[in-house]
């Protein structure tokens, strides 16, 4: 009888090859490792629920313009990117939405938070962070944020409705806010007095 493998240790056909068994074992472990890696990727996607919002401090600045967040009224925002040690902050929800809705935005977002203005003080908002994607928003109200007209953010629809009744504006869900609604080219570009 001829050996069943190239290891030359086995002289019978029915005798299993140790080298072949090792290779099959290694292949099995590699595939299990790949599967556990995939499940770990799934776990990372769940990190959005575990990444906590970070409170703004006296020196927290806006990602876009360097303004100190504590110096201005209205809701603030923060984006947590995958692989970043700290979130980036925005002194105004218009800036946050503009960043999130840009087609060139390719960095993986782990979590997005805005302040619940149903609980936070409009003139000096601190704390009361909420998941931005689950919120209710009022666009076009008479209340201004750090950059002028802003998008007021609320955790409860009833708070958003109450705000809109008092200050005007249109009630929207996160997915209903479109890029043209949060265009940052206003201000000086449209000011005829300059």
Residues 144 and 101 in one domain: yes
Domain with residue 112: its CATH number is 3.30.70.2060
Kindly indicate the confidence band of residue 24, based on its pLDDT and cuts at 50, 70 and 90: very low
What tokens were used for 159?
Answer: 């708070």
Residues 55 and 38 in one domain: no
Q: Point out the least confidently predicted range of 48-57, 63-72, 106-115.
A: 48-57
Residues 40 and 58 in one domain: no
Query: Residue 61 sits in which domain range?
Result: 48-190
Q: Is-contact 72 146, C-beta < 8 A?
A: yes
Residues 53 and 38 in one domain: no
Q: What is the tens place of the pLDDT at every residue in 133-189?
A: 999 999 999 999 988 899 999 999 999 999 999 999 999 999 999 998 998 875 433
Residues 53 and 40 in one domain: no
Residues 144 and 163 in one domain: yes
> CA–CA separation, 170 vs 159, rounded Å?
13
Q: Is-contact 112 77, C-beta < 8 A?
A: yes
Total domains present in the chain: 2
Q: What is the tens place of the pLDDT at every residue in 80-132?
A: 999 999 999 999 999 999 999 987 878 899 999 999 999 999 999 999 999 99
Range 135-147 burial, b when 16+ CB lie within 10 A, else e: bbbbbebebebbb
What is the model's pTM?
0.70
Residues 31 and 59 in one domain: no
**Quick one: pLDDT at residue 157?**
97
3-state secondary structure 66-117: CCEHHHCCCCCEEEEECCCCCCEEECCHHHHHHHHHCCCCCCCEEEEEEECC
Residues 123 and 83 in one domain: yes
Gap between the terminal Cα atoms of the chain: 97
């Amino acid at each position: 009888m001829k050996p069943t493998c190239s290891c030359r240790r086995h002289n019978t056909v029915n005798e299993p090859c140790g080298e072949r068994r090792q290779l099959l074992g290694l292949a099995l472990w590699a595939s299990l490792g790949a599967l556990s890696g995939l499940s770990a990727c799934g776990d990372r996607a769940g990190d959005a629920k575990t990444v906590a919002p970070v409170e703004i401090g006296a020196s927290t600045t806006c990602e876009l313009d360097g303004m100190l967040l504590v110096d201005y009224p209205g809701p603030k925002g923060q984006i947590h990117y995958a692989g970043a040690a700290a979130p980036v902050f925005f002194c105004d929800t218009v800036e946050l939405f503009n960043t999130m809705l840009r087609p060139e935005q390719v960095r993986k977002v782990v979590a997005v938070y805005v302040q619940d203005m149903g609980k936070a003080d409009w003139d000096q908002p601190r704390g009361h962070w909420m998941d931005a994607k689950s919120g209710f928003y009022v666009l076009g109200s008479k209340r201004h944020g750090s950059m002028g007209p802003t998008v007021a953010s609320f955790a409860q629809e009833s708070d958003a409705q109450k705000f809109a009744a008092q200050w005007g504006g249109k009630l929207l869900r996160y997915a209903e806010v479109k890029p043209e609604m949060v265009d940052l080219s206003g201000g000086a570009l449209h000011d005829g007095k300059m």
